[in-house]
Amino acid sequence: MHDEGGTGVPILLLHGLMGSARTWRDQLEWLRGYGHVYTFDAAGHGRPAPTELTTEAFIDDLAAATAQITEPMVVIGHSMGGLHGWVFAARYPGRVRALVVEDIAPDFTGRTAANWAAMIEAWPPFPDERAVLDFFGPVAGRYFLNSFEQAADGYRLHGSVATFRAISEEWGTRDFWAQWKAITVPALLIEGEFTITPEGQMWQMALAHPDAAYVKIPNSGHLVHDDQPERYRAEVEQFLRRVLGK
């Protein structure tokens, strides 16, 4: 866990699959105005993965890493981080005071990551920053520059493709509706216009929750906070002002 500064209510930022704590760099300054900000590198992302690659194992790791934070947290998660945020809240309800979930849904059952994993395995080491940006484009390229590790032969993944695939494949074998429906803390659901989530599920999440707001942000893909940072900030700030009384 990384202490990013600020004072007051703890705010924990959780990154998406293949991401890292550094992918939140552009959000840190304004979030410090609302509390004490922490970022976190999920297991298997630049550090050892759990022995069992289940969501519950990742939540156990997250719970242990954040044990020193004794005050209930605002948890802000993107993609995998959003899922981990609400499963963490369901298992440890006294440790979470509010949730922001960005572009992830409870039910991907039946989906496979085989083709996606094969594509990732074909990625070469990228010799420099320009090569990463040229390959992925300016938005996803910056995301991966903030996630890759820099080795002698260039920029490369900071974890095993087999691990990333196993994380994703687990989502194809189960759903997380029960964990979502167990949560009662205030929640903000943010979906991209060009989303990876099954159609309508994030809206259904809002309908199933006693205190959830839902917004779809136009002209944004899966990386909503990077595609449309000003709109993302406006929505999150409005939510934080409500739940924190600021």
pLDDT digits (tens, 9 = 90+) for 7-44: 999 999 999 999 999 999 999 999 999 999 999 999 99
Distances in whole angstroms, Cα of residue 76 to Cα of each of 14, 82, 185, 198: 6, 7, 13, 21
Query: Does the pLDDT at position 196 exceed 90?
Result: no
Based on C-alpha coordinates, what's the Rg of the chain? 17
Place of tokens 């000003």: 230
Which amino acid is present at 155? Y
- Three-state secondary structure of the chain: CEEEECCCCEEEEECCCCCCHHHHHHHHHHHCCCCEEEEECCCCCCCCCCCCCCHHHHHHHHHHHCCCCCCCEEEEEECHHHHHHHHHHHHCHHHEEEEEEECCCCECCCCCCHHHHHHHHCCCCECCHHHHHHHHCHHHHHHHHCCCEEECCEEECCCCHHHHHHHHHHHCCCECHHHHHCCCCCEEEEEECCCCCCCCHHHHHHHCCCCEEEEEECCCCCCHHHHCHHHHHHHHHHHHHHHHCC
pLDDT tens-digit readout, 34-79: 999 999 999 999 888 888 899 999 999 999 999 999 999 999 999 9
The mean per-residue pLDDT over the stretch 104-112 comes to 88
Strand pairing category for 36-40 and 10-14: parallel
Average pLDDT along the chain: 93
Write down the pTM of the prediction: 0.94
Q: Residues with Cβ < 8 Å from 100, sequence gap 6 or more?
A: 74, 75, 76, 77, 82, 85, 187, 188, 190, 236, 239
Give tens-digit pLDDT for 151-176: 888 998 888 888 998 998 899 899 99
- Rounded CA gap, 9 and 22, in Å? 21
